[in-house]
Amino acid sequence: MICEICNQNPATIHIQEIINGQKKVLHICADCASKKSTENPLLQGFNVAEMLYNLSGQFGAGDVQPSQQEPSEIELICPGCGWHSEDLKRTGKLGCQQCYTTFKEVLEKALKTMHHGTLHVGKSPASMGGDDTDSKKVAELMSLQKELEDLVQREEYEKAAIVRDKINLLKQELKK
Amino acid sequence: MNSDINLLLNNKVSWLADCGPSEDIAISSRIRLARNLEGVPFPPHATPAQLNEIINTVEMAVQRNKELEPFLKFKIGETSDLDKMVMFERRLISREFMEKSDPGELLVTADESFGIMVNEEDHLRMQFMRSGFQLKNVWQEINRIDDILSNQLPYVFNKDLGFLTSCPTNVGTGIRASVMLHLPGLVLSNQINAVIQGVSKLGLVVRGIFGEGTQNLGNLYQVSNQSTLGESEEQIIERLGNVITQIINHEKNARRNLLETNQPFLLNHVGRAYGTLRHAYILSSAEALDSLSALRLGVDMGMFSSVDIHTVNELFIIINPAHLQKYAGKELDSSERDIYRAVLVRERLKASDRGK
């Protein structure tokens, strides 16, 4: 693909702009991109999906630093939710908490460029540590509700009744 | 059942109405936290049944908690497009949230200072807003609420990566702290691009408030952190706060400089804007925002003792399309809105004059 501005260099940077509600995609080279970002300092939204897979398409924080690295094309599917590496590439987003393990390697690289560090140093949930907190009960409640749904779908009503009683019990405990 | 939207419309929005520090330049401070719950895929990949389950769980958690204020509830699927626009214009929901078709809900306190979007991109997107420049105070408030909720809700948390989020740009603290700044001095003196570039180099983001992309009406800018991992919440807020203090000083210098070196230009700019707002019968959104920005500058600089700054701040919100139609009590097309916008602005400014 050739740069749409100078029509000479290969386009390594792909910019999505939304102007007056209309989406425009621009394929341009690094030179034109840096010109464009000087003219237009508000233009600094970066496409995470590209950043993840095509590090040459990366430009964060207003300046452009293209690298020649080839995208790593490994096909992965998250066992937790079925999220596919294609989905990640397309949306720049993850499907569920387990995706962070599934796509660990791809993410590690991207996180480095996105953030100031790669380790969390902020707060942890206030509930951590205790065994008998409400949030643990709510988690249990949610997994029971899921189980109930599955059982009803499979028409295993006897088991479902037991799970339903457990749910009611938990709900009562939580209401206290 | 949804709460009554008029409860919001009748509000003197607290993050606009209360007095905050540095509020002539910093209009408001906002912090949002992204949180997800264990065992359910992130909203974009969850089933409607799972999303409803999340809504019920969050509702239950906030209702059971006596320490939290009561919430108004708006199920996004049961809210009209116009009402959703009203919430968007009041900065309570995002554009993405407004347009979604899957189950989602806005929970918001009656004074609008705290809200939770349930099932936006993450299961919970909570935000706290205050007027003026007071990020530390806002952090204290939202941190307290987050602690209360985390006792009730099983947050997805990983000791290395912190709070896990749908988009890896938010992982870790899940925090986005931002301050809305009014920077007409830097715009009039052509320094704004240099400032934006400088700020960007520090890894912070500057955005226009009205209109994405290049357009920036009303000289309103939002400065926020980009990185959410590798620093604590306090460090992120500190770094952002330092930069904002500098921007505010630049803006003050630019204003002083304009007054000293080019007073007729400044007076003319402000005076014409006031004339337009007081006497126009057709007022487009763009012209209104630009004129309001100039009037606000004039008020800040003591040129209009009769105009109350909060009237001006409020006008920035109520001249938007959905609010206009709510005040008019009927649907208005674009040209009808321009006429009604002029009516509303004239009335408000006249009332503000009489009030003194």
| Chain A nearest C-alpha distance from B262 (Å) | 27
Are B278 and B332 in the same domain?
Answer: yes
Q: Is residue B7 part of a domain?
A: yes
The CATH number linked to B107 is: 3.30.590.10
Are B141 and B281 in the same domain?
Answer: no
| Amino acid present at B123 | H
Choose the most confident range, by mean pLDDT, from A25-39, A155-169, B46-60: B46-60
Q: Is residue B295 part of a domain?
A: yes
Q: Is residue B246 part of a domain?
A: no
More confident residue, A161 or A11: A161
Its sign, for the CA torsion A96, A100, A102, A106, is positive
Tell the residue number behind the tokens 């992982």, with chain if given.
B171
Are B215 and B80 in the same domain?
Answer: yes
Nearest to A134 among B41, B152, B163 (CB): B152
Nearest to A136 among B57, B154, B173 (CB): B154
Are B267 and B228 in the same domain?
Answer: no
pLDDT confidence tier of residue A47, bands split at 50, 70 and 90: very low
Whole-prediction pTM value? 0.79
A83 neighbourhood in chain B, CB within 8 Å: 45
Count the domains in chain B: 2
- Compute the average pLDDT of residues B81-107: 93
Are B277 and B333 in the same domain?
Answer: yes
Q: What is the 3-state secondary structure (H, E, C) of B277-327?
A: HHHCCCCCHHHHHHHHHHHHHHHHCCCCCCCCHHHHHHHHHHCCHHHHHHH
pLDDT digits (tens, 9 = 90+) for A109-128: 889 888 988 899 899 987 66
Secondary structure (3-state) at B118: strand
Q: Which domain holds residue B23?
A: 3-232
Q: Is residue B251 part of a domain?
A: no
pLDDT digits (tens, 9 = 90+) for B189-229: 999 989 988 998 888 988 887 645 445 788 999 999 999 99
Are B85 and B221 in the same domain?
Answer: yes
Q: Is the pLDDT of residue A68 over 80?
A: no
Q: Is residue B239 part of a domain?
A: no
Q: Is residue B258 part of a domain?
A: no
Q: Is residue B192 part of a domain?
A: yes
Are B67 and B107 in the same domain?
Answer: yes
Are B276 and B214 in the same domain?
Answer: no
Chain-centre distance for alpha carbon B304: 26
Are B24 and B94 in the same domain?
Answer: yes
Mutate to test the interface with A, among B62, B197, B216, B217 (most CBs of A within 10 A): B197
Are B228 and B188 in the same domain?
Answer: yes
Task: Inspect the interface and report whether the beta carbons of A139 and B39 lie closer than 8 Å.
Answer: yes
Mean pLDDT for all residues in chain B: 91
Q: Is residue B254 part of a domain?
A: no
- Compute the average pLDDT of residues A71-79: 74
Task: Inspect the interface and report whether the beta carbons of A135 and B60 lie closer than 8 Å.
Answer: no
Are B152 and B10 in the same domain?
Answer: yes
Are B273 and B226 in the same domain?
Answer: no
- Compute the average pLDDT of residues B160-170: 95
B265: number of Cβ within 10 Å: 12
Q: What angle do CA B43, B46, B49 make, to 5 degrees?
A: 110
CA B222 to CA B207: how far, in whole Å? 5
Tell the residue number behind the tokens 């990640």, with chain if given.
A88
Q: Is the pLDDT of residue A61 over 70?
A: no
Residues 19-48, chain A: which have Cβ within 8 Å of B?
Answer: 19-20, 38, 40-44, 48
CA B149 to CA B128: how far, in whole Å? 14
